[in-house]
């Protein structure tokens, strides 16, 4: 588009990358807001104060585990129990972070550290499918802006959910529950169109996750699907990497 | 007490996320590990989509599937991710009327 090239020429590369990062992170914002609102409502009902529930979003920044944490607080579970369950549920981010950091390995630690701290399922998925920016000048601004867009939406949404309560009609908030899944699909399909084997990797991971989820917790099942599904890529992507 | 829970959750969430940032430039991976790590995003997307999408409306898993199918279709047509997301939301909204 003309505006984009004009933008790239007239503004500094850093500003250009920040803008691009915000635009790329926008779908995550759209997906996070309703979920964050729902989390805020639930956490309030679980007996957490507005400060506590917002602080949890600031410090933890991991949707599923915050829902679980709020539920367990409501049930009166112990600290150790909640912390261990959180670790299990979020350990998948280790695998995702290893994959993303391998792409960004040439970045300085002062960039890699904040980017890895802001890694969620969603920021990982979007970042890992936009690896071209990693090679461009000031690419680090792109990833950080993308993550901060998502982070900001998550915190503001939680806070608003806590103070406003159920403001979104139930049918709408229920429908918006598909937003992040649709975003994942919207990220995956363009890659599948380019390399059909990528779709095969995803389907294998789906199958493994589905089978594993019959007899283990959600956290472990996603890890198995991701790790073993990714392993199929070693054979499937042989030769046509990149 | 809740503050202790929040701090504990923050620590165990942050550590797995940041360890790779510290170690990745000290490691040289073999080719197959690099292609494995390269395939992780696609595998993760698969594992994050299914079977989770069935629980969008827990009592009616088919609604999540139809919403997902609409998203696949819109994405195949080359539409922007935002349109894909809005299309799927609308589908679920109409199906739950």
B29-78 pLDDT tens trace: 999 999 999 999 999 999 999 999 999 999 999 999 999 999 999 999 99
Residue A4's pLDDT is 55
- Lowest mean pLDDT: which of A48-57, A71-80, A166-175, A204-213? A166-175
Cα gap A216→B14, rounded to integer Å? 23
Residue A25's pLDDT is 95
Q: Do B57 and B44 belong to one domain?
A: no
| Residue A88 φ/ψ region, left for φ over 0, alpha for ψ in the -120 to 50 degree band, beta for the rest | alpha
Nearest residue of A to residue B70 by CA position? Answer: A182
> In this predicted model, what pLDDT tens digit does every residue of A218-227 receive, in sequence order?
889 999 999 9
Q: Do B30 and B67 belong to one domain?
A: no
- Residues 50-109, chain A: which have Cβ within 8 Å of B? 52, 55-56, 59-62, 65-66, 69, 73, 79-80, 82-84, 86-87, 90-102, 105-106, 109
Residue A5's pLDDT is 56
pTM, whole model, 2 decimals? 0.91
- How far are the Cα atoms of A85, B42, B47, B91 from residue B50, in angstroms, in the given order? 22, 13, 6, 18
Residue A3's pLDDT is 52
Cα gap A55→A66, rounded to integer Å? 11
Residue A174's pLDDT is 87
Tokens of B12: 């165990």
Q: Indicate the residue of B41, B53, B93 with minimum beta-carbon distance to A125.
A: B41
Residue A121 has pLDDT above 50, yes or no: yes
Residue A212's pLDDT is 96
Q: Do B68 and B33 belong to one domain?
A: no
| pLDDT bracket for residue A43 (50, 70, 90) | very high
Please indicate whether, in this complex, the C-beta atoms of B71 and A185 are within 8 angstroms of each other: yes
Instruction: Please give the interface size between A and B, counted as residue pairs whose CB atoms are below 8 Å apart.
Output: 290
Q: Please tell me the distance in Å from B66's CA to the nearest CA on chain A.
A: 11
- How far are the Cα atoms of A53, A240, B16, B70, B77 from residue B74, in angstroms, in the given order? 36, 27, 35, 6, 5
Residue A129 has pLDDT above 90, yes or no: yes
> In this predicted model, what pLDDT tens digit does every residue of A205-214 receive, in sequence order?
999 999 999 9
B73 vs A: CB within 8 A = no
Q: Do B42 and B85 belong to one domain?
A: no
Q: Do B57 and B37 belong to one domain?
A: no
Please indicate whether, in this complex, the C-beta atoms of B93 and A56 are within 8 angstroms of each other: no
Residue A20 has pLDDT above 90, yes or no: yes
Residue A2 has pLDDT above 90, yes or no: no
Residue A165's pLDDT is 83
Domain that includes residue B74, residue range: 52-97
Residue range B89-95: mean pLDDT, rounded: 96
At B95, give phi and psi (nearest 5°).
Answer: -75, -20
Nearest residue of A to residue B40 by CA position? Answer: A230
Q: Do B66 and B37 belong to one domain?
A: no
Q: How many domains does chain B have?
A: 2
| B81 contacts in chain A (CB < 8 Å) | 27, 183, 186-187
- Which one, of A51, A41, A66, lies nearest residue A166 by Cα? A41
Residue A230 has pLDDT above 60, yes or no: yes
Residue A68 has pLDDT above 90, yes or no: yes
Nearest residue of B to residue A53 by CA position? Answer: B6
Residue range A113-142: mean pLDDT, rounded: 95
Residue B12 has pLDDT above 50, yes or no: yes
Residue A168's pLDDT is 81
Nearest residue of A to residue B72 by CA position? Answer: A185
| pLDDT bracket for residue A51 (50, 70, 90) | very high
Q: Do B60 and B80 belong to one domain?
A: yes
Identify the residue with better confidence: B91 or A2: B91
Tokens of A13: 């590369």
A128 vs B: CB within 8 A = yes
Residue A199 has pLDDT above 80, yes or no: yes
B69 vs A: CB within 8 A = no
Q: Is the peptide bond before B51 cis (omega within 30 degrees of 0)?
A: yes
| pLDDT bracket for residue A7 (50, 70, 90) | low
Share of chain A above pLDDT 90, in %: 82
| pLDDT bracket for residue A242 (50, 70, 90) | very low
Contact call for residues A65 and A217 (beta carbons, < 8 A)? no
In the DSSP assignment, the letter for residue A11 is S
| Residue A216 φ/ψ region, left for φ over 0, alpha for ψ in the -120 to 50 degree band, beta for the rest | beta
| A59 contacts in chain B (CB < 8 Å) | 6-7, 9-10
Please indicate whether, in this complex, the C-beta atoms of A237 and B38 are within 8 angstroms of each other: yes
- Which one, of A26, A65, A66, A15, lies nearest residue A44 by Cα? A66
Q: Do B2 and B37 belong to one domain?
A: yes
Q: Do B1 and B45 belong to one domain?
A: yes
- Residues 8-37, chain B: which have Cβ within 8 Å of A? 8-14, 16-22, 24-25, 29, 32, 34-37
| pLDDT bracket for residue A61 (50, 70, 90) | very high
Residues 6+ apart with CB under 8 A from A204: A228, A229, A232, B43, B46
B4 vs A: CB within 8 A = yes
- How far are the Cα atoms of A57, A199, B39 from residue A195, in angstroms, in the given order? 37, 8, 12
Local structure of A47: helix, strand or coil = coil
Cα gap A179→A186, rounded to integer Å? 10
Q: Do B93 and B58 belong to one domain?
A: yes
Domain boundary assignment for chain A: 2-175, 195-242
Q: Please tell me the distance in Å from B40's CA to the nearest CA on chain A.
A: 5
Q: Do B44 and B62 belong to one domain?
A: no
Residue range A131-158: mean pLDDT, rounded: 95
| pLDDT bracket for residue A241 (50, 70, 90) | very low
Cα gap A32→A154, rounded to integer Å? 6
Residue A1 has pLDDT above 70, yes or no: no
Q: Do B56 and B97 belong to one domain?
A: yes
């Amino acid at each position: 588009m003309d505006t984009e090239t004009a933008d790239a020429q007239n503004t500094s590369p850093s500003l250009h990358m920040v803008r691009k990062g915000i635009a790329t992170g926008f779908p995550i914002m759209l997906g996070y807001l309703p979920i964050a609102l729902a989390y805020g409502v639930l956490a309030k009902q679980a007996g957490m104060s507005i400060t506590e529930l917002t602080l949890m979003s600031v410090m933890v920044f991991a949707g599923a585990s915050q829902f679980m944490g709020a539920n367990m607080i409501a049930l009166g579970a112990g600290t150790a129990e909640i912390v261990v369950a959180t670790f299990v549920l979020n350990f998948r981010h280790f695998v995702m972070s290893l994959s993303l950091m391998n792409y960004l390995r040439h970045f300085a630690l002062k960039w890699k550290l904040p980017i890895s701290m802001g890694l969620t399922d969603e920021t990982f998925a979007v970042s890992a499918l936009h690896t071209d920016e990693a090679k461009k000048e000031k690419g680090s601004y792109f990833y950080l802006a993308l993550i901060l867009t998502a982070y900001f939406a998550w915190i503001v949404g939680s806070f608003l959910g806590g103070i406003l309560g159920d403001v979104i009609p139930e049918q709408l908030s229920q429908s918006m529950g598909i937003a992040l899944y649709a975003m994942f699909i919207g990220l995956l399909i363009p890659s599948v169109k380019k390399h059909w084997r990528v779709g095969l990797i995803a389907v294998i991971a789906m199958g493994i996750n589905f089978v594993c989820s019959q007899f283990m917790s959600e956290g472990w099942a996603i890890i198995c699907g991701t790790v073993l599904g990714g392993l199929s890529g070693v054979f499937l992507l042989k030769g046509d990497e990149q | 007490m809740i503050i202790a829970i929040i701090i504990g959750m923050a620590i165990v969430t942050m550590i797995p996320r940041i360890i790779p940032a510290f170690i990745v430039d000290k490691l040289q991976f073999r080719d197959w590990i690099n292609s494995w790590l390269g395939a992780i995003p696609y595998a993760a997307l698969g594992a994050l989509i299914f079977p989770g999408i069935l629980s969008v409306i827990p009592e009616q898993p088919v609604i999540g599937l139809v919403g997902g199918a609409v998203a696949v279709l819109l994405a195949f047509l080359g539409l922007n991710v935002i349109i894909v997301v809005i299309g799927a939301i609308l589908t679920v909204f109409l199906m739950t009327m």
